[in-house]
Amino acid sequence: MSVIYIILILCFIDKGTSLKDLHVCYDIKRNLEYCCSDYENINGTCIECKIGFVSISGKPCSHCQKHRFGERCLKRCYCNDIEERCDHVKGCVPKYEHTDELT
- Name, in order, each residue with C-beta under 8 angstroms of 54's C-beta and a sequence gap of 6 or more: 37, 38, 61, 62, 64, 65, 72, 73
Residues 35-91: tens digit of each pLDDT: 999 999 999 889 999 999 999 888 999 999 999 999 999 999 999 988 999 999 999
pLDDT exceeds 60 at position 103: no
Q: Is 49 exposed, middle or buried (0-12, 13-18, 19+ CB in 10 A)?
A: buried
pLDDT at 6: 39
More confident residue, 9 or 51: 51
Residue spans per domain, the chain: 17-94
Q: What is the mean pLDDT of residues 5-31?
A: 60
What is the model's pTM? 0.68
